[in-house]
C-alpha cells in the first residue's frame, strides 16, 4: 500500500542484497519523469473535456512523480525533491498499480523505482528498506526483497515491517511453511512493537493492518 502521508553514490551490491541498476538508470528515470509530467500538463485539460463528450481520446500520460491525489494545485517541483522523496513517490505509484492490478504499468515503472532505491546509499534506513523490499516483491525481485527483510530483522528482530516483508516474500516464493512461521512471529510481536510508536509504523499503518489480515488468514 501507499504510505500515509540529486543522486547519491551507489550503494555496494552486497549491502542488503541490492540489485545493481547503475547511475544511468536514474538519469533516464528523471528524463522520463520530466517528459511524462510535461506531457500530462499539456494534454490533461483537453482530454478531460473529450472524455465527457465520448470523443475517444487517449488518456493523459502518467507522471511518475505526481501525487495522484487529483486535487489540483501547483505541479510538484521534482528538481527540489530529495532522492528519498523521489523514491517515495515511485514506491507509492508501484503500490497503487499493484492494488489496481495494472501489471503492465507496474513493470514499466519497475526499473525506475528499483534504481531510485538502489541509489539512496546512506539514506536507506529501515523505513526505506521496507519500501525498497515491497517494490522488489511486487516487481518480482524476490532476492532483493528477502535481503532487505533480513537486513531490517538483523537490526531489529521483531520489527513489524521486516517480519511482514519477509512473510510476503516467502509467500511469493511459494514457501508456505516459512511464510506461516513468519506471520506467527509478526502476530506475536505486534502489540509490543506498536507501543514503540515508531515513525515507520505510523507511515505504514495501512500496511500493518493489511499484514495483520494476511497473518490471520494464514497467508
Do the Cβ atoms of 73 and 116 come closer than 8 Å? no
Cell (9 digits) for 214? 494476511
- CA–CA gap between residue 46 and residue 61 (Å, rounded): 13
The whole-number pLDDT of residue 4 equals 56
Burial 165-203 (b: 16+ CB within 10 A, else e): bbbbbbbbeeeeeebbebbebbeebbeebeeeebebbeb
- CA–CA gap between residue 44 and residue 6 (Å, rounded): 28
The whole-number pLDDT of residue 123 equals 83
Total number of residues shown for the chain: 219
The whole-number pLDDT of residue 121 equals 87
Do the Cβ atoms of 178 and 163 come closer than 8 Å? no
The whole-number pLDDT of residue 41 equals 42
The whole-number pLDDT of residue 30 equals 53
Burial 82-93 (b: 16+ CB within 10 A, else e): ebbebbbbbbbb
- CA–CA gap between residue 165 and residue 149 (Å, rounded): 6
Series of mean pLDDT values for 10-residue runs along the chain (219 residues):
48 42 50 44 40 41 52 57 91 93 92 92 92 94 96 97 97 95 97 96 95 86
Amino acid at each position: 500500500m501507499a504510505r500515509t502521508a540529486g543522486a547519491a553514490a551507489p550503494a555496494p551490491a552486497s549491502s542488503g542484497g541490492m540489485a545493481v541498476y547503475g547511475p544511468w538508470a536514474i538519469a533516464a528515470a528523471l528524463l522520463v519523469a520530466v517528459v511524462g509530467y510535461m506531457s500530462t500538463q499539456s494534454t490533461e485539460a483537453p482530454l478531460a473535456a473529450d472524455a465527457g463528450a465520448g470523443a475517444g481520446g487517449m488518456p493523459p500520460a502518467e507522471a511518475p512523480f505526481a501525487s495522484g491525489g487529483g486535487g489540483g494545485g501547483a505541479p510538484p517541483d521534482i528538481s527540489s525533491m530529495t532522492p528519498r522523496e523521489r523514491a517515495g513517490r515511485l514506491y507509492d505509484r508501484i503500490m497503487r498499480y499493484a492494488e489496481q492490478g495494472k501489471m503492465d504499468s507496474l513493470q514499466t515503472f519497475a526499473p525506475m523505482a528499483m534504481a531510485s532505491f538502489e541509489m539512496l546509499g546512506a539514506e536507506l534506513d529501515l523505513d526505506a528498506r521496507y519500501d525498497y523490499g515491497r517494490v522488489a516483491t511486487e516487481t518480482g525481485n524476490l532476492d532483493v526483497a528477502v535481503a532487505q527483510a533480513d537486513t531490517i530483522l538483523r537490526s531489529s528482530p521483531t520489527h513489524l515491517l521486516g517480519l511482514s516483508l519477509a512473510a510476503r516474500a516467502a509467500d511469493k516464493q511459494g514457501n508456505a511453511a516459512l511464510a506461516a512461521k513468519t506471520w506467527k512471529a509478526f502476530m506475536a510481536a505486534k502489540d509490543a512493537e506498536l507501543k514503540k510508536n515508531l515513525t515507520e509504523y505510523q507511515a505504514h499503518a495501512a500496511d500493518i493492518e493489511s499484514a495483520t489480515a494476511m497473518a490471520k488468514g494464514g497467508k
